[in-house]
Structures are given as structure tokens and as C-alpha cells.
Amino acid sequence: MIDDIKKEAADRMAKSVDSLKQELTKLRTGRAHASLLDHITVSYYGSEVPLGQVASVGVSDARTLLVTPWEKNMVGPIEKAILKSDLGLNPASAGTVIRVPLPALTEERRRDLVKVVRQEGEGAKVAIRNIRRDANNQLKALLKEKKIAEDAERQAQDETQKLTDRHIQDVDKVLAAKEAELMEI
């Protein structure tokens, strides 16, 4: 029983860290990478589909993404979708290929992005702490039902705290790496 609670808490905490990493990949640094456009959806014959399903996204150089639609008639809708996105990018079509130049980030914009990164990190830490609270509540319920001893409950809570500390350290490492990447010119 106790092992199940600890395992579930560890899995959920790891998912929180993974979710943070996923969110941070959406934050634009000065470098071009194909995953920058992953969350963009395009109107394709009346339905919204991810950009990756209607085009290939590649990197042509350090500051330019290259979007190649599978069908020629998709150039316009893909351009509109990139313009509408919250990334602030201006695509330029050249025949059947769309080039998406990434402007250099200003110092002020970098600092704003660092604040966003810290907010995301704090959200991940809160999620991890909530998972710890849930696990501790489950342990207290088992103790109340007299299914485990008090010592076992206390030991399990200590182990849950160590698990929480380890995952919060992971979040801090991810945040430090992303902040360094953002502040790098």
C-alpha cells in the first residue's frame, strides 16, 4: 500500500517536471528549432490540425525555420496560422516554401522571458507540493483506518519529502538551464 502511494507520487512528480520541460520548449530563444512551431494548428479542409501534419518544419540556419507544406495550396493557411500564433513571427513565402526568420531578442524581452520561465517553474513546484500533500493525506487515511503503523506512516512521509525535494531540485536545474539559454546572446 505504502509503496503504491510512493510510486504514484513519484510518477506524478516526474510528469510535472516533464510538463515543465515541454512548456519551456515553447518559449523562444534566439535560436531556431523545429519544435517552436509544434503547438500551431492550421485550418485544413475545415478542421484544425497540427502544423506537423500538413508540412515539414526544419531549420535552415541558426535564425531561420523552413516550413515545407505537403500541398501547394496550404502555403496561405500555414502563413496565417504562424502570424496568428502568440510567437510574434513574420513568415515569408517563397513559392512553395515558407521561411520564418526569428528576430534577435532584446535585453528587455529576455528579462521578460526569464520572468515567464520562473512563473512556469513556480507552477511546477506548486504541482509537486500538491502531489506531496495528496500522498501524505493518503498515508494519514491509512493510519486512521489502522492499516499501517504510526512509524511506517512517518517513515513514508519522510521518503515522500525526499522525493519532493529531489523533483524540486530537478525543476531548479531545468529553470537554470533555460534562463542561461535565454540570457545567452
10: closest CA among 141, 131, 136? 131
Asked if pLDDT for residue 22 goes beyond 90, the answer is no
Q: Per-residue pLDDT tens for 149-184? A: 889 889 999 999 999 999 999 999 999 988 888 777
State how beta strands 92-94 and 97-101 pair.
antiparallel
Separation between Cα atoms, residue 22 and residue 121, nearest integer Å = 12
Which pLDDT belongs to residue 158? 93
Neighbours of 173 (CB within 10 A): 11
Separation between Cα atoms, residue 176 and residue 184, nearest integer Å = 12
Q: Is the entire prediction scored with pTM above 0.75?
A: no
- Classify domain 34-101 by CATH architecture: 2-Layer Sandwich (3.30)
Which pLDDT belongs to residue 30? 63
Residue ranges of E strands in 51-95: 55-61, 64-69, 92-94
Which pLDDT belongs to residue 167? 94
Where do we find the cell 501547394? 72
Range 2-26+106-183 has CATH code 1.10.132.20: yes
Q: Per-residue pLDDT tens for 88-101? A: 778 888 888 988 88
The grid coordinates of residue 144 equal 486512521
Asked if 110 and 182 touch (Cβ cutoff 8 Å), the reply is yes
CATH 1.10.132.20 in the chain, residues? 2-26+106-183
Amino acid at 52: G
The grid coordinates of residue 9 equal 507520487
CATH 3.30.1360.40 in the chain, residues? 34-101
Q: Per-residue pLDDT tens for 24-83? A: 877 766 667 777 777 788 888 888 888 888 888 888 887 788 888 988 888 888 888 888
Separation between Cα atoms, residue 16 and residue 12, nearest integer Å = 6
